[in-house]
Structure 1
Amino acid sequence: MIIISWNVRGVGSKQKRRLIKESVGRRNPDVLYFQETKVPFFKDDLMATLWKAKDAKWVSLNTTGSAGGILVAWKSSEWDLEHSWVGVFSVSVILQDKSAKFQCLISAVYGPTLNARRSEFWDELTASRQSFSGPCCIVGDFSITRFPEEHSWSRKPSLAMTVFSDWIEKQELVNLPLLGAKFTWTNGRLNSILSRLDRFLVSPEWLEAFPSVSQLALPRTTSDHCPILLPEDDNDWGPKPFRFNSSWLLIEGFSKQISEWWSSFQVEGFGGHGLLAKLRLLKNNLKQWKKSILHKRENEMDFILPELQKIDADSELWTMSSEVLGQRIQLIQSISTRDSGK
């Protein structure tokens, strides 16, 4: 089971949605969580611009102003929604896989920044946690750190940190180590301030189902938060089915290539039999095309994303210079230009 959580800081820009879709698509998650969508009413056409999964179903906490908003989405071809509820600070879903072998509770959170509201926040999450006795995962931007070392600047332990750690212990949750980065948020300035605000918390039952699970910070492309990934475990669930990606239609010359292939197929049989045979040939050609033509495009991202991650890792150790900051901006712009087909 692959889960991505990301405080995207708004999805209003077309360019930003393109970058989000590119970042998410490379990991092919089963479940997707966005915090701070800043969307008053979520619709299917907007969902399609953020995730390539054609079978996506979703539940959202809409904004009440210009901030906030949570989106929880999943692949309905692989997961059934058993129950869902929307709170003030969270959206929770109980999902069951199609084989009916695994059922879990996942709560996506966006914590309050005001201390006065944190008691209400913990009460809401406690109610969600205690509503389900099976595998549980609570994930998102908690808007608070656990320890002083989760800040890039010197800071003494606070009461809020102690309450957070005590809550995790009382709810019998496991705070998984973060791989790929030490922090998940930055103010993006030359004298950077960094914190670990985003995390996955899982129950012992989750670890029994996925004993090798970890959480990974992904490259930060279009938000001051980096996405965090709960990767798939090592279980072998069989071969992945071939899927057509509608974004291929935007690649210059693709539609013409499809027409040429289709015209060149010479098959025997009548009616549906002949059509099925041509579709099988087309599928094979598309697989080969994906390996060759798309390989170059993937290689570009395979270079850009590690470079972004390296810059962010360096910024955790020392102050980012204006030259390095400019280099990071150029890398982000190169992704935007690449995806827009310019």
Structure 2
Amino acid sequence: MCWNARGAVCTKFKNTVMNLIHNHHVDLLFICEPRISGTKAASVVKSLGFSCSEVVDAVGFSGGLWLLWNENKFKVDIIGTHEQAISACITWPGQTPWVFTAVYAKPCSIKRATLWEYLSFVADCHNMPWLLAGDFNEMLQLEVKLGGGPLRRIKGFKSWFDANDLIDLGFTGQKFTWSNNRVFERLDRAICNMSWMGAFLEANVIHLPRTKSDHCPIKINLQSCFLPSPRLRPFRF
């Protein structure tokens, strides 16, 4: 599960996350924008009940990345961190190892451009199944925005996405993952390369209801979920 929490210091954050973990059986959790760091961040991370974690501290009250997992479920080897991403190799018995990159793209387009450079570097360093998920802060198409001014955040991410032959995993649930109640956009998503898709043909993404944050959590299932009617099949771009 990936969620831009927009702050992790209040009690409501912990209660919301614990409910998400319990209700959706979360084995790997990515939190971005906790906006706390140091001992305060370490204390909150520990309270969430995962045995392992990788933390990229927030700078002041901006950003921050947390990747949390339980070591009795699978093996996670951190292979690289960036102020906007954490990359890890995921392994469990009987499964081909694959790379997961948790993403939080900065709102500033100049800083966001360094993310696409970093992700190109990660792509050049391996030839493995690769899943990326999180808040990309850009869109891939015009239809994923409602309201507001002209769409400006589409060039950098889309160019990188196309150049690396990636696939959008689609979604079920509400169309937009972020809103300020005037503008609605799909900023949070999961994407992968062809070899990851081949290894997880039944993988699907669910946009969960927004709570506390202006971003909704996205849940990635590696196995099929029962879809009761054709109209609920995932949209794939």
Paired residues of 1:61 and 1:70 also in contact (CA < 8 A): yes
Rounded Cα–Cα distance in structure 2 between residues aligned with 1:125 and 1:101 = 24
1:143 aligns with 2:137: yes
Task: Please list every run of 5 or more consecutive structure 1 residues that lacks an aligned counterpart in the other structure.
Answer: 236-342
Larger strand share, 1 or 2 = 2
TM-score of the two chains, using structure 2 as the length reference = 0.87
Rounded Cα–Cα distance in structure 2 between residues aligned with 1:89 and 1:10 = 16
Quote the offset at 1:58 in angstroms: 0.9
Task: Please list every run of 5 or more consecutive structure 2 residues that lacks an aligned counterpart in the other structure.
Answer: 226-237
| SS state at 1:208 partner | helix
> Root-mean-square deviation (CA), in Å?
2.0
Instruction: Name 2:67's counterpart in structure 1.
Output: 72
Letter in 2 for 1:153: G
| SS state at 1:128 partner | helix
Instruction: Name 1:170's counterpart in structure 2.
Output: 163
Rounded Cα–Cα distance in structure 1 between residues aligned with 2:211 and 2:21 = 11
Higher relative contact order (CA 8 A, sep 6+): 2
Letter in 2 for 1:76: E
Instruction: Name 1:320's counterpart in structure 2.
Output: none
Letter in 2 for 1:204: M
Q: Structure 1 residues 234 and 214 mapped into 2: Cα distance closer, same or farther (>3 Å)?
A: closer
Residues 57-96 of structure 1: matches in 2 within 5 Å?
57-96=52-91
Aligned equivalent of 1:115, options 88, 109, 115: 109
Aligned equivalent of 1:20, options 7, 12, 17: 17
Rounded Cα–Cα distance in structure 2 between residues aligned with 1:48 and 1:18 = 14
Letter in 1 for 2:202: S
Letter in 1 for 2:125: S
Structure with max Cα Rg: 1
1:218 aligns with 2:208: yes
Rounded Cα–Cα distance in structure 1 between residues aligned with 2:124 and 2:70 = 25
Aligned equivalent of 1:161, options 154, 162, 166: 154
TM-score of the two chains, using structure 1 as the length reference = 0.61
| SS state at 1:112 partner | coil
How high is the sequence identity, in percent, across the aligned residues? Answer: 23
Quote the offset at 1:104 in angstroms: 1.3
Paired residues of 2:64 and 2:83 also in contact (CA < 8 A): no
Quote the offset at 1:178 in angstroms: 2.0
Rounded Cα–Cα distance in structure 2 between residues aligned with 1:74 and 1:128 = 22
Rounded Cα–Cα distance in structure 2 between residues aligned with 1:39 and 1:20 = 16
Quote the offset at 1:112 in angstroms: 1.7
Instruction: Name 2:219's counterpart in structure 1.
Output: 229
Residues 21-40 of structure 1: matches in 2 within 5 Å?
21-40=18-37
Alignment deviations for residues 115-138 of structure 1 (CA, whole Å, 9 cap, x no partner): 222321210111122322111111
Paired residues of 1:18 and 1:49 also in contact (CA < 8 A): no
Paired residues of 2:116 and 2:156 also in contact (CA < 8 A): no
Rounded Cα–Cα distance in structure 2 between residues aligned with 1:23 and 1:16 = 11
Alignment deviations for residues 248-298 of structure 1 (CA, whole Å, 9 cap, x no partner): xxxxxxxxxxxxxxxxxxxxxxxxxxxxxxxxxxxxxxxxxxxxxxxxxxx
Rounded Cα–Cα distance in structure 2 between residues aligned with 1:72 and 1:233 = 21
Paired residues of 1:141 and 1:198 also in contact (CA < 8 A): yes
Letter in 2 for 1:37: P
Larger helix share, 1 or 2 = 1
Instruction: Name 1:290's counterpart in structure 2.
Output: none
Rounded Cα–Cα distance in structure 2 between residues aligned with 1:197 and 1:101 = 30
Instruction: Name 2:123's counterpart in structure 1.
Output: 129
Rounded Cα–Cα distance in structure 2 between residues aligned with 1:69 and 1:197 = 17
Rounded Cα–Cα distance in structure 1 between residues aligned with 2:123 and 2:30 = 18
Letter in 2 for 1:170: A
Rounded Cα–Cα distance in structure 2 between residues aligned with 1:44 and 1:63 = 12
Quote the offset at 1:109 in angstroms: 1.2
Rounded Cα–Cα distance in structure 1 between residues aligned with 2:70 and 2:195 = 22
| SS state at 2:195 partner | helix
Quote the offset at 1:69 in angstroms: 0.3
Quote the offset at 1:193 in angstroms: 1.6
Quote the offset at 1:163 in angstroms: 2.9
